[in-house]
Amino acid sequence: MKRQVRVLARALALALRRQTDVPSDGVAIHYSRTVRPMFWVMLAVNPVDIVMVEVVVKSVPVRIALLVLEVLGALTFLAIVATLYKYPHSVSREGLRVRYLSFFDHRIPLASIDSVRQASRSLKARGGVSVPEEGVLAVGISQSTNLSVVLREPRLVDLGRKGTVEITQLDLWADDPRAAVAAIRDELPASV
């Protein structure tokens, strides 16, 4: 929980400084273009909740408590929206960094990557991080991935409360999969 709060606070700080969390020698691979409008609509609805509480609840102490909770909730959601922009996937000399909002962040060394290609996959899971089949980790958006990274050897990935999984393939979503494939291939060692 503390880690999550730090990650969200950092996303807000990056937004205020107009920076993105990508290494100076890295290339951002954005993944959230299709879901951003939905997040902004959800954030825009929050003031309606605040007005409803003011109109419906008569008790002043309860209204104040609910107002504080609503403001904290709005701030948290604003931080989640900031992660859509400020925490993209990225590739650099350090490796491929795959993210999902503030909930998932995993780095893969370039030497561990065997190949990368465009490949569409529909997921049963609603989004986020899932294991659609043994050995495959999917980091999807809107129940889809469009990029597939095959690893040279099995790799353990910590999924937090979901446990640890061993993968040989990572499927993810990129807003521009063609550019993402090119950016990753450009960083791979010449032998790949």
The 10 Å Cβ neighbour count of residue 116 is 22
Q: 192: pLDDT confidence band, cut at 50, 70 and 90?
A: very low
Q: What are the residue ranges spanned by the domains of the chain?
A: 2-20+30-86, 93-187
Looking at residue 106, its pLDDT comes to: 95
165-191 confidence digits (pLDDT tens): 999 999 999 999 999 999 999 999 874
- DSSP letter assigned to residue 42: H
The residue that leads in pLDDT, 147 or 44, is 147
pTM: 0.83
| Sheet architecture: strand order including 104-108 | 27-29, 89-92, 95-100, 104-108
Average pLDDT (75-86) is 89
